[in-house]
Structure 1
Amino acid sequence: MLELLTGSGLAVAAGLNAYIPLLILGLAGRVFDFVELPTAWAWLENPWVLVVLGVLLVVEIVADKVPVVDSVNDWIQSVIRPVAGGIAFGTGAASETAVVTDPASFFTSSAWVPVSIGVVLAFGTHAAKMLARPALNAATAGAAAPVVSAAEDISSVLLSFMALLVPVIGFFVLLGMITLVVLRIRRSRRARLLN
C-alpha cells in the first residue's frame, strides 16, 4: 500500500514539474541506502542521467517563470510530464517492469499498469496546471507567473520528498492540494456566475 502512495505522490509531483521527482528519485537511489530503485529503473541513478535531468530542470524552472513562455512550455510538457509521471509511479511503486527493448513483453506482462496509472495522475495534474496558467497570466498581466511557478516547484519538491520519506503524510498533502484546486474552481465559477 505504501508503494502505491509513494508512486502516486511522485506522479502528481511530475505533473507539476517533470524533472524534480525524477531527479530526487535518482539522487535518493544513488545516495541513500533506504531507497533502492527497481532494476528496470536503475538508470535514473546514472550520473549522466542526473546531469541531463539537472540541466532540463534549470531550463524548465526558467521557462516556467516567464509569462507566455510558460504557456508554450506547458504545451511542450504535455507529453513530457505524463511520461515522467509514469516513470515516477513505476519506480515509486517498486514495480518490476519488463525491459522496454522488448515492447511485446512490456504489454503482455502487467508492467504497463503502474506506468499507465502514473501517466494518468501526472496528466491530470498537468492539465489542471495548463488550464489555470493562461487565466492567471491574463488576470494579473503576467505578474502571477513567477509566483505560481515557484509555488508549483516547491510543491513538487515537498511532495516528492514526502512520497519517499512519509508516503501517508504525502497522501494527505495530495488530498489537501486536490481539495484546494476544487475549491478554487468552484469559487471562480461562482464569481463568473455573479458577474
Structure 2
Amino acid sequence: MELLTGSGLALASGLNAYVPMLMIGLLSRYTTLVSLPPEWAWITNGWVLVVLGVLLAVEVVADKVPAVDHVNDILQTVVRPTAGGIVFAAGSGAVTPATTDPGEFLTSAAVLPFACGVVLALITHIGKAGVRAGVNLSTAGVGAPVASTVEDITAVALTIVALLLPVLVLVLVTAAAVVVWRLQRRRTRAA
C-alpha cells in the first residue's frame, strides 16, 4: 500500500509540485492521518509549509496565463520530478537514512524510492506539458486556465486518493491510460 501511496503522490507532483508536498506536510503536522518517517519530518516545518504555500500560489496563478504557463512548465521540468522523488520516498514510508555527504546519496538506500518518484513525476509532467501545448495551440491560449484548473483539481484529488485509498491510484491510473489510448487511437484514425 505504501508504494501505491508514494506512486499517487509522485504522479500528482507531475501535475503540480507543491500540492502533494504541502498536503502531506500539513496533514502530518496538524493531524494523525499522515505520519512521515523521521527523515522527512522537515516537510512539516512551519517555514517549509509557508514557502510551499507561496510557491503553490505562484504556480496556480502562473499556470493560468497563456505563454507564462509554457515558461512555467519549462522551469518545472526540474522541480516537479524532484518533488515527486521527495513525496514518493516520504509517502511510501521508505527508510531513507540521512546522508551527510551528497556523494553518498547515490549509493545509499534513499536513492531507489527517490528515483522511482522522479521517474513517475517526470512522465506525468511531460504528458501534462505536451497536452497543455496542444490545448494552447488549438484554443489560442483561451483553454489554458481551464486546463490548469483541471490539472490542479486532479493533483488535489490524486493526492487525497493516494493518502486515503491508495488502491484507487491503480484504478485512476488505469482509467487515465485508457482515455489517453482512446484519444490517441481516435487521432490516428482521423489522420
Q: TM-score when scaled to structure 1?
A: 0.93
Check conservation: 1:6, 1:92, Cα contact below 8 A.
Answer: yes
2:13–2:81 contact (8 Å) kept in structure 1: yes
Pairwise CA distance, 1:6: 0.2
Q: CA–CA distance in 1 between the matches of 2:6 and 2:129? A: 22
8 Å contact kept, 1:98–1:106:
no
Runs of 4+ in structure 1 over 4 Å off: none
Q: Distance in 2 between matches of 1:36 and 1:137?
A: 40
1:78 and 1:189 mapped to 2: Cα distance?
28
Alignment partners' CA distance in 2, 1:75 and 1:104 = 27
Distance, in Å, in 2 between the alignment partners of 1:133 and 1:94 is 33
Please tell me the residue identity of whatever aligns with 1:107.
L
Alignment of 1:79 with 2:78, yes or no, is: yes
Pairs aligned (count): 191
Matched, 1:185 2:161: no
C-alpha deviation, 1:97, in angstroms:
1.0
Mapped contact 1:163–1:171 kept (Cα < 8 A): no
Deviations 1:124-146 (A, max 9, x none): 00001111211111111111101
TM-score normalised by the chain length of structure 2 = 0.95
CA RMSD across the alignment: 1.2
User: Structure 1, residues 108-165: CA drift from partner, whole Å, max 9, x if none?
Assistant: 2222001000000000000011112111111111111011100000000000011001
- Structure 2 equivalent of residue 158 of structure 1: 157
Distance in 1 separating the partners of 2:86 and 2:29? 17
Matched, 1:128 2:127: yes
Mapping of 1:1-195 within 5 angstroms?
2-191=1-190, 193=191
Gaps of 5+ in 2: none
